[in-house]
Amino acid sequence: MKFEGKTAVVTGGSRGIGRAVCLELAAGGANVVLCYAGNEAAAQETVRAVEALGAKGLAVRCDVSSAAQVDALVRSAVEAFGRIDILVNNAGVTRDNLIMRMSEEDFDAVIAANLKGAFLCMKAVSRLMLKQRYGRIVNLSSVVGLRGNAGQVNYAASKAGVIGMTKSLARELASRGVTVNAVAPGFIETDMTAALPESARSAAQGSIPMGRLGTPEDVARAVGFLAGDAAAYVTGQVLAVDGGMAM
Ligand code: NAP
């Protein structure tokens, strides 16, 4: 049980990749605190799946772009389990459009959830992890943050920004036993990509050397590696989990 006695906070754990990450960590014995934006039923379903694996789970409603709500999330996790060993910044949104049609509001909303949200969560757990002299932070970036994508100026900026924050915080915390890494998924089958038109999905599939879309579990296993002791000497890295898209 590689996460026995550890507590993990996973943002956006109600669905998709975040849910798979919760189950990966729970299967290793971690207590899992997951947050969600509004989908209470899905969040409680993830908690039940975590508990079915013999781990403890707790769902907290929290908009990661609000500092007050993030602080409350961290307090709830510490009250429930006493410490936070692992933070997975997974919550994310898209509001795609070509730049001529992208509103300022669409830009700000994506930056707020994807970039500021990760910043607030890392800030909120850093003090705890420094005191413990132990921590694992894994941030969800994207192939789009590495390569860009037409129609996703806001999303690409947020995901490239996540990589910059990952490397900067990795340098700040490295000497205290805290690692900070990013995972950059390619095209993964979740609600986020189900919303795309069939033409965009098949075009994306054609650009994947491995010839298939990824699963949430493909990404969760990489997150589990970076969150575990096997990756103790790995920090400031971006691990692409994309079937070869971004090489
Ligand atoms: P998803 O299926 O759309 O799920 C998004 C999750 O984030 C949900 O749990 C949602 O909560 C939560 N969320 C959204 N906004 C939030 C906020 N402001 N505060 C707290 N939670 C919030 O997404 P996904 O496809 O699993 O993606 C997960 C992460 O991987 C994202 O960061 C995404 O950018 C990244 N990623 C995805 C892909 C892909 O192909 N799917 C590729 C590269 C990177 P509710 O359920 O309550 O709405």
pLDDT per position as a tens digit, 189-221 = 999 999 888 888 888 889 999 999 999 999 999
Tokens encoding 177: 């036993």
Residues 194, 102: Cα–Cα separation, whole Å: 21
- 125 within 8 A of 84, measured Cβ to Cβ: yes
Where residue 78 falls among pLDDT bands split at 50, 70, 90?
very high
The reported pTM is 0.98
Give the number of the atom of ligand 1 that is nearest the alpha carbon of residue 15.
9
The CB of 7 under 6 Å from ligand 1? The reply is no
The CB of 78 under 6 Å from ligand 1? The reply is no
pLDDT for the residue numbered 200: 83
Distance 92 CA to ligand 1 centre (A): 4
How far out from the chain centre does Cα 246 lie? 19
The CB of 65 under 6 Å from ligand 1? The reply is yes
Mean pLDDT confidence for 115-125? 99
Helical ranges in the chain per DSSP H: 16-27, 40-52, 67-81, 104-110, 117-132, 143-147, 153-173, 191-194, 198-206, 216-227
Q: How many helices (H) and strands (E) does the chain have?
A: 10, 7
Distance 175 CA to ligand 1 centre (A): 31
Distance 203 CA to ligand 1 centre (A): 22
* pLDDT score of 21 more than 90: yes
The CB of 66 under 6 Å from ligand 1? The reply is no
Between 45 and 199, the more confident residue is: 45
Tokens encoding 151: 């129609």
For 61, counting Cβ atoms within 10 Å of its Cβ (0-12 exposed, 13-18 middle, 19+ buried), the class is middle
* pLDDT score of 147 more than 90: yes
Task: Beginning with the edge strand found earlier in the chain, give each strand of the sheet holding 31-36 in spatial order.
Answer: 57-61, 31-36, 7-11, 86-89, 135-140, 178-185, 238-241
Distance 15 CA to ligand 1 centre (A): 7
Inter-axis angle of helices 117-132 and 67-81, nearest 10: 40
pLDDT for the residue numbered 243: 98
- DSSP label at 236? S
The CB of 238 under 6 Å from ligand 1? The reply is no
Residues 96, 10: Cα–Cα separation, whole Å: 25
